[in-house]
Copies of this chain bind each other. A is one copy, B any other.
Amino acid sequence: MSPREKTRPTGQESLRDSVLGGDLIFLLARANALTLAAANAVLAQHGLKARSYSVLALAADDARPTQRELAEFLRLDPSQVVALVDGLEKRQLIERQTDPTDRRANVLVATDAGRDLFARAQESARAVELGLLATVTPEDHERLAELLRLLAFPD
């Protein structure tokens, strides 16, 4: 009974119109993949990837996050943060300071070199973001960010 007898192949006729084209989870995954690739490409010029860029950003922001807070925020296992921080610290871009209020914890702080690098990297990142959304009004750009924040931080 099911109308499965397609006689001609659809060929490369866009899969976009399939069920997945309306699937938010899929769209999010694909948008993320492309965006991440674009970001990594430009960040490579600064010796960074999206991950290390994010760590550097938070350290440079004077938010003084502990590694654990960072792990939670970036959705990483604490052990992954160790490696990330090791890398940035070896390059003297950030440093670990043991939290005076809790000597178990390390607070991350950017060095001056780290801040400089971040400032430059941030420009690249911003340029990528604007490039990706070049066809969109600033209002829609902001609306997208707002809606993504809802998904990213479901309180």
Contact = CB atoms under 8 A, between A and B. Distances in A.
Interface of A: 2, 4, 6, 9-13, 15-16, 18-36, 39, 50, 54, 57-58, 60-65, 69-70, 73-75, 99-101, 107, 109, 112, 115, 122, 125, 128-129, 132-133, 135-136, 140-141, 143-145, 147-154
Interface centre among A10, A30, A125 (most CB of B within 10 A): A30
Given A28-B28, A140-B147, A9 B54 contact: no
Contacts of A149: 16, 21, 27
Copies in the complex: 2
Q: Give the 8 A-B residue pairs with the shortest CB-CB distance, closest first.
A: A31-B151, A30-B152, A27-B148, A32-B32, A31-B152, A18-B61, A144-B147, A33-B75
